Structure 1
Amino acid sequence: MVKHCAGLPLAIVVLGGILATKNNSLNEWQKISDNVKSYLKRGKDQGPEDVLALSYDYLPLYLRPCFLYLSHFPEDYEIDVDRLIQLWVAEGIVSLKQEERDGGEIAEDVAESYLMELVKRCMIQVRERDVATLKVKTIQMHDLMRDICLSKAKQDNFVFIVDRSNASSLSMIRKVRRVSVHEFFFIQCIKSPNIRSLLFFSDFFPKEALEKSMLLEMWNYIEKHEDEVWNPLVWILATSVVCSDLLKAWGIWRYMFNNFKLLRVLNCELRSYNFAGWKLPSDIGNLIHLRFLSLRSFDFQWSKLPSSLGNLRCLQTLDLRVEKRRIHVPNVIWRMEQLRHLYLPRRCKSRTKLKLGTLRKLLTLVNFNTKNCYLKDLINMTNLRELVINSPFNIENFNEKELGKNPPIIGSKYLHSLSIVSNWIARPINPRHLAHLLSGCTSICKLLIDTKMIEMSELPEYHYFSSHLAYIHLKLCKFEKDPIPILEKLPNLRILEVEGSFGVNEMCCSTQGFPRLESLRLLNVGKLEEWKVDEGAMPSLQRLEIAECRKLKMLPEGLRFITTLKELKIESMPKSFKVKLEEGGEDLYKVKHVPSIIFQ
């Protein structure tokens, strides 16, 4: 069979993916071999790409729309798996009917299993995995496999793609259900009232389009005289341009909201800042069938979202992480009882106060804080899996003397990821508040604490941490006490990353500490001068990275006892530190057994 692949590695791998899904009996493999031969004899000039097409024909019916959906994404695009799964569920490609109550398998779990089937068949490539769970985080398509995907999607009229080949010549798009925009075009070209999904992967309203929409003489005059702040004509023309841009953006939003009333998916998520006009029109309330809405990275000049968002009762995913400025979010999100993934703005206006207690189906909650939300609402989110707290985080009516007398904060036994992020103007995190929060997170395996150089005197005692913790990242934490004696007692911790300055200059890893730690990264721990490692500590360590710890004098003696260490990476350290580890250096004997020592 390999000879039919013409030496193309991808075709060989994909063919192997087909075989891997079958029983290992000789008869099964013989059938596939015969099918490959007959398939390739259908026409002349057949090549290895036809083996790739065969992989689609062997897909079970439930996987075909999952694969075809990948045609939405541009070439070489790195696809976020969480976002892809949310789109699959919103479009009904993975049905919510498969969910069971009382903690049964949910649609996102089914979708993830579908994704892994495509991975096993080698039809998509894994780009990044989660460091704690090893689940796939991002994927990508090989160019040849993407060509097959586009070809099949076109045959089935699965999606209409606006790209460089047709963006400039489009006059009218009719009878399409899905549109994916890779290149800017005027949205008014879409005349299909039955459109179900609209995904943008290019600038919503790029500067080039704005320039083309103006009179060339006007634009040239502004560019030529832009430094003449005293020139009234420049001010008049510039003001006219701004007003024109705002009106055009307003017209695009209103056209979508008033003509595509059957939309289920509106993904305007871009990976950089994008001009969005004056404000989001209240007409968005017309999209009552919407399941997925992302406005990430958009910049509205008016920082208030319309209260008509409350009409979107069917929403499952809502991403409001708009660009830079503080946003006022009206208290209407509580009406969206079908919400499963909620991403709030990074910074809200002080008058924003959101009730979220009705969102019992919520799986993801990002940018929650106790200033703009009610802490008590977290107890109702019994299905929550991921929580990102963006400070401030304070507990009212807290019993300082006895933690056990305080009511629990988290109501979900499925929470596996917790992030606590402080901004530069937040108050210090109270360690006892943190201890009480962590005591209810009995299932988390990932923990990120980023205090932005705000002093947090110490970590809570180790018994407040989940025994399932596999990954901890401490960023910019100015601890007054060494946190290592607490962290090293965690039985299943595999990855520890310490980034930024501790308030201590000495760190000690004791015997039998960190029993399962595999990776340790010390990045810019500015005050660290001495590091001690006792014999028997970190018996499973495989990777060690030390970067920008400029006061650290030498590597600890105890590293020579860690026989499992496979890689040592030294980056941006003083020359004297490096010299000690080179041939003939006084510290080389400590790491001479390490196969890979990398200096950068």
Structure 2
Amino acid sequence: MGNKELAEDSLIARRRDVEEEEVVGLVHDSNEVISQLERGDWSRRVVCILGMGGLGKTTLARKIYNGDKIKSMFRCCVWGFVSNDYRAQELLMSLLKLLDLPAEEYKDLTDQAKMKRKVRERMSGKKYLVVLDDIWNTQVWDDLQGAFPDDNNGSRILITTRVKDISHYTRATFTYELPFLNESQSWELFCKKVFCKEKCPHELEPLGREMTKACKGLPLAIIVLAGMVAKKERSPREWIKINNHVSWYLAQEEEYRIVTNILKLSYDDLPQALKPCFLYLGVYPEDYEIHVRRLCQLWIAEGFIQKKEVGPSNSPEVEDIADMYLDKLVERSLVQVASRRTDGGVKTCRVHDLLRDLCISESRENKFMEVCTNLDAIKCNSRRMSLQYRGELRLTEDNQSSARSLLLFGENTYWENESEGWKQIKNGFKLARVLDMNRVVLCLSPRGLKTLIHLRFLKVRASSVRIGNDVLASLCNLSNLETLYLGIEKPITLPNKIWKLKSLRHVYLDIDVYVLTEKLSVGASISRMKIGETKVKNLQTLRSIYLNARTASVLSKGMFPNLTKLTLCREVTELPEPPEKELLENSLRCLNKLRTLKLLGIAKLPLDRDAYPTSLTKITIGYFPPLDARMIKTLGQLANLRTLKLFRGGIIGDVNCVAGDFPQLQVLHLTDVQQYGRWKVDGGAMPQIRYCNDPRIL
């Protein structure tokens, strides 16, 4: 790595030190709002944060929500994203997840009234804080307020909105109008984002202050501008050039266009390779929490990510390049991190609505993408089409399109005959690369699927075993397929022919949460494979595969030599099987590149550390009968294990960790794990640990 790359990495690391909680101008604001949450009688009260888009309402609310003072004041805290594209059932479902509703109770929540009743039950008797972020209309309050009990215990509801009438309608006892940053605060925020803990060089300060003034005190504009400036050389010559660009952009439009111009300037400054990745974020609905792994797979399927040949043994995988591209968009403040993985990587992200508007307008102008919010308007000349409208997702014969990518965002839809959509897909999207059918459940065989020979990414749900098997059979003809997400509710079998797809990289068999029970009876089997068959060299991910003799046989033959992520689950069968420990040993034997292993419902683990690939960095074990503590001790001897997660199970006996155990472990996370013994951690054990959620251990 050269000096330039090292300097850039150092800059990125320093900028990450500027946490969201340190955004300037919010200390007084948060104290003011918190004091109002404390005041008043014991009845349920509403407090409102009001301001225009990009002013920092969500940032302020998040700072309050995450503060220690709030955690000590309220026994129960939940956060709901509302947005302009509000759907009551989705929001209620997100609240129930935060309220830890048991998985088995989700299947009974068939309508909005039952969901509201369940939310009320989960919160009853608790002093709570509910945050409803970005309310646009009064209907939201009418829909939701009945879900929040008033037990006369000091509970509070904090809302953020850009519509002043919302404050009056909800009878907020206090409304805090978030001000724009003054010049001093704007400059402080700009410097934090560009220089972190360093001071701005004296010769750059006048130019920096001039650029910052153009942002008119809007935090989003300042952050985005600073993200661009931080990537540039720190010299008067370069900053004069940037300042001239800012002035030129701002001179073209009226004052209300200032923010858009600054956002567009940052977009124009992106390297060419990042521009389509950024524009693609517009395919998601407003305030949508984007799963980064799936986003990167879509980028790859669209052809935005090209594998770079660095050398015969140093060529990064396309997934690694996609992750790097996302990090660069985050670093430039064009993408907001919504949640992080335990290893620190970005798990989900969001795009501010002003930036999303920019994505859509730029995409429409150059026919990169079209967002359709009206079913009658689906006559698209763009290469990509995103359907985002209320109601069921139906396509008609009139909906002709030249798009090669179709992404569907709407309510759950069951396609029960060809005229409801599939016929239009096979006739109108013959050149499709991407079919992301998020909420569509196929109730008929997709007979035209096998003709979509250019398809690289498919996400769909099947209503039955027959439909699921028909989907899999159709895929065997699609030689370009890279990523498959198939939603299932019944066990299926992966056919042998699917492994002849040389481009296949990721196979996810998605199981609805309410069918994931202790018995774990839903998953997929692998058909028997002949010894000597061609290896599937590109396959990296296999999710929800039964641990049985056939699986062990296939994996032990080294048919998937580059597999990095594997989820195995227990198969409920009356037929005799070899012991789980033996099956698992055979399954892992040839997986020399496996990094992530997830085991569901499996009670017996190998006691020999040599049975596990040395490449393993993360192990998750869930829904398991009580494990022998010696098995945990064995995991502690894995040299590269960094993350260990255990949930819904038990441990029998004492786990004795001595010096040298868990040498690289950074994250230990236990959820609903009954311990019939103690964890004993001696000095020198877990030397790298930085997070453990169970105080009984550390």
- TM-score under structure 1 normalisation? 0.69
Counterparts in 2 of 1:263 and 1:460: CA distance versus 1, 3 Å: same
Aligned length: 472
Alignment of 1:197-208 (within 5 A): 197-203=405-411, 205=413
SS in 1 for 2:432: coil
CA drift at 1:251: 4.4
Q: Tell me the distance in 2 between the aligned counterparts of 1:190 and 1:179.
A: 15
Q: Tell me the distance in 2 between the aligned counterparts of 1:288 and 1:301.
A: 22
Match of 2:253 among 43, 51, 54: 43
Q: Tell me the distance in 2 between the aligned counterparts of 1:95 and 1:396.
A: 33
Check the 8 A contact 1:379/1:409 in 2, yes or no.
no
Q: Which residue of 1 aligns with 2:673?
A: 525
CA drift at 1:438: 3.2
Check the 8 A contact 1:417/1:447 in 2, yes or no.
yes
Residue 546 (structure 2) pairs with residue 391 (structure 1): yes
Q: Which residue of 2 aligns with 1:215?
A: none
CA drift at 1:309: 3.9
CA drift at 1:535: 3.8
Q: Which residue of 2 aligns with 1:473?
A: 620
CA drift at 1:18: 0.6
C-alpha RMSD of the superposition:
3.6
Q: Which residue of 1 aligns with 2:431?
A: 262
Residue 316 (structure 2) pairs with residue 150 (structure 1): no
Q: Tell me the distance in 1 between the aligned counterparts of 2:557 and 2:589.
A: 9
Match of 1:120 among 313, 331, 335: 331
Q: Which residue of 2 aligns with 1:381?
A: 536
Q: Which residue of 2 aligns with 1:440?
A: 590
Q: Tell me the distance in 2 between the aligned counterparts of 1:534 and 1:27.
A: 58
Q: Which amino acid aligns with 1:36?
A: V
Q: Tell me the distance in 2 between the aligned counterparts of 1:140 and 1:527.
A: 38
Deviation digits for residues 27-69 of structure 1 (CA, Å, limit 9, x no counterpart): 2122112211222122222423321121111122222211111
SS in 1 for 2:646: strand
Q: Tell me the distance in 1 between the aligned counterparts of 2:323 and 2:635.
A: 32
Q: Which residue of 1 aligns with 2:285?
A: 74
Counterparts in 2 of 1:199 and 1:490: CA distance versus 1, 3 Å: same
Counterparts in 2 of 1:331 and 1:254: CA distance versus 1, 3 Å: farther
SS in 1 for 2:338: strand
CA drift at 1:71: 1.0
Q: Which residue of 1 aligns with 2:452?
A: 287
Q: Which residue of 2 aligns with 1:188?
A: 396
Counterparts in 2 of 1:7 and 1:491: CA distance versus 1, 3 Å: same
Q: Tell me the distance in 2 between the aligned counterparts of 1:265 and 1:447.
A: 28
Alignment of 1:493-508 (within 5 A): 493-502=641-650, 504-508=652-656
Counterparts in 2 of 1:112 and 1:493: CA distance versus 1, 3 Å: closer
Alignment of 1:323-402 (within 5 A): 323-327=488-492, 332-344=497-509, 369-370=525-526, 372-374=527-529, 380-388=535-543, 390-394=545-549
SS in 1 for 2:273: helix
SS in 1 for 2:507: strand
Q: Which residue of 1 aligns with 2:580?
A: 430
CA drift at 1:261: 1.8
Q: Which residue of 1 aligns with 2:487?
A: 322
Q: Tell me the distance in 2 between the aligned counterparts of 1:492 and 1:308.
A: 40
Alignment of 1:26-175 (within 5 A): 26-45=236-255, 46-95=257-306, 104-132=315-343, 134-163=344-373, 166-167=374-375, 170=376, 173-175=379-381
Check the 8 A contact 1:98/1:107 in 2, yes or no.
no
Q: Which residue of 2 aligns with 1:2?
A: 212
Check the 8 A contact 1:410/1:437 in 2, yes or no.
no
Check the 8 A contact 2:441/2:461 in 1, yes or no.
no
Q: Which residue of 2 aligns with 1:21?
A: 231
Q: Which amino acid aligns with 2:690?
A: Q
CA drift at 1:378: 9.3
CA drift at 1:162: 1.7
CA drift at 1:257: 1.0
Check the 8 A contact 1:180/1:198 in 2, yes or no.
yes
Deviation digits for residues 224-271 of structure 1 (CA, Å, limit 9, x no counterpart): xxxxxxxxxxxxxxxxxxxxx834x5542112212332222221123x
Q: Tell me the distance in 1 between the aligned counterparts of 2:592 and 2:630.
A: 24
Counterparts in 2 of 1:63 and 1:378: CA distance versus 1, 3 Å: farther
Q: Tell me the distance in 2 between the aligned counterparts of 1:16 and 1:428.
A: 60
Q: Tell me the distance in 2 between the aligned counterparts of 1:389 and 1:378.
A: 23
SS in 2 for 1:47: helix
Q: Which amino acid aligns with 1:283?
A: G
Check the 8 A contact 2:407/2:436 in 1, yes or no.
yes
CA drift at 1:186: 4.2
Q: Which amino acid aligns with 1:386?
A: T
SS in 1 for 2:421: helix
For structure 2, the residue ranges without an aligned partner over 5 or more in a row are 1-210, 513-521
Q: Which has the higher strand share?
A: 2
CA drift at 1:479: 2.6
SS in 1 for 2:379: coil
Q: Tell me the distance in 2 between the aligned counterparts of 1:333 and 1:177.
A: 28
Q: Which amino acid aligns with 1:49?
A: T
Check the 8 A contact 1:275/1:299 in 2, yes or no.
no
> Identity over the aligned pairs, expressed in percent?
32
Match of 2:632 among 470, 476, 484: 484
Deviation digits for residues 167-222 of structure 1 (CA, Å, limit 9, x no counterpart): 4xx2661534321111146422655453211111113637xxxxxxxxxxxxxxxx
Q: Which amino acid aligns with 2:250?
A: L
Q: Tell me the distance in 2 between the aligned counterparts of 1:500 and 1:435.
A: 23
Q: Which amino acid aligns with 1:145?
A: L
SS in 1 for 2:298: helix
Q: Tell me the distance in 2 between the aligned counterparts of 1:326 and 1:448.
A: 18
CA drift at 1:16: 1.5
Q: Which amino acid aligns with 1:246?
A: E
Q: Which amino acid aligns with 1:198?
A: L
CA drift at 1:311: 3.5
Q: Which amino acid aligns with 1:464?
A: A
CA drift at 1:72: 0.7
Check the 8 A contact 1:171/1:189 in 2, yes or no.
no
CA drift at 1:527: 4.5
CA drift at 1:124: 0.8
Check the 8 A contact 1:478/1:503 in 2, yes or no.
yes
- Quick check: which has more Rg, 1 or 2? 1
Q: Which has the higher helix share?
A: 2
CA drift at 1:305: 0.7
Check the 8 A contact 2:552/2:584 in 1, yes or no.
no
